[in-house]
Amino acid sequence: MSWKKWTRGRLTALVVCVLLPWGAAACATGEAHEGTVSPSPVGSVLDSTDETGRNLREVPAEDAPAVAVEVAPDSAGGWDVRLRLRHFRCSPPGTRPAAALGRGIVHLYVDGHRVARLHTPSYHLAADRVPHGTHQITARLYADDGTVWAVHGKPIESTADITVSDAETTGTTPATPAA
């Protein structure tokens, strides 16, 4: 055996021994696989999901955040959506994807279709997003890791009904939070 083969073999073994624990640590924390939900000390991640496929993160009702959505027509023909948040703060864009109780983002849905990810408690919904008829505007709370905040296996959300007609527009405000 030549000296070079022996040196390369030892060097390879040394590198594997040094790097292997780091790789195992990354797998244990969930950092090695992007897009997976890592265990968190905040609530418990359930196997059940919402209709978009996101896991529910169950928290006790007494610690749970809450949301109420208010929708009002604006003078330009669109809609002003205002959220009343309790025990919840919207995270700024670029926040690290980890669950923290009472923090996250709000997804806004019109008739079950997501129209916005909110980092603030107000949003202007353009008139062309809601055609004539009656529509449901739903605000649902998400943790920064993408899980849905839930109580008793149900997402924390609030829904308001609005009706758009040729002559007038009416909004239902405020909506009752559902948890």
pLDDT at site 2: 53
Question: pLDDT tens digits, residue range 38-84?
Answer: 455 789 999 999 999 999 999 999 979 999 999 999 988 899 999 99
pLDDT at site 56: 97
| Residue linked to tokens 């296996």 | 153
Rounded distance between C-alpha atoms, residue 108 and residue 125, angstroms: 10
Rounded distance between C-alpha atoms, residue 163 and residue 111, angstroms: 12
